[in-house]
Amino acid sequence: MSLLITDECINCDVCEPECPNNAIAQGDEIYEINPNLCTECVGHFTEPQCIEVCPVDCIINDPDNKENNDQLKLKYTKLTGKQVA
């Protein structure tokens, strides 16, 4: 499942540069995650990097974009052209 930044976001800007898929961008009020680009860092890291660096723990699983690990691996392959190691 892709991730979601809640309205508790303080716009600190630490998550955006950590995203290997460039799925995070400044929205109208807070940072937002593009669910079409978010793989929860599957294929890149063992843990979602945005969650690791967020100082206010405002990044959660997006209930509107549920994906299992196999779907995240497939999305990674489509985005990068590489297979998950």
User: Per residue in 26-58, pLDDT tens?
Assistant: 999 999 999 999 999 999 999 999 999 999 999
Average pLDDT of the chain?
96
pTM listed for this prediction: 0.93
- Whether residue 85 is predicted with pLDDT greater than 90 in this model: the reply is no
Name the CATH topology of 3-80: Alpha-Beta Plaits (3.30.70)
Burial class from Cβ neighbours inside 10 Å (0-12, 13-18, 19+) for residue 73 reads middle
pLDDT at 1: 75
pLDDT band at 17 (very low <50, low <70, confident <90, very high): very high
Please state, in angstroms and as integers, the Cα–Cα distance from residue 58 to each residue in 7, 23, 29, 73, 82, following that order.
7, 16, 14, 24, 30
- The pLDDT value recorded for residue 29 is 96
DSSP state of 68: -
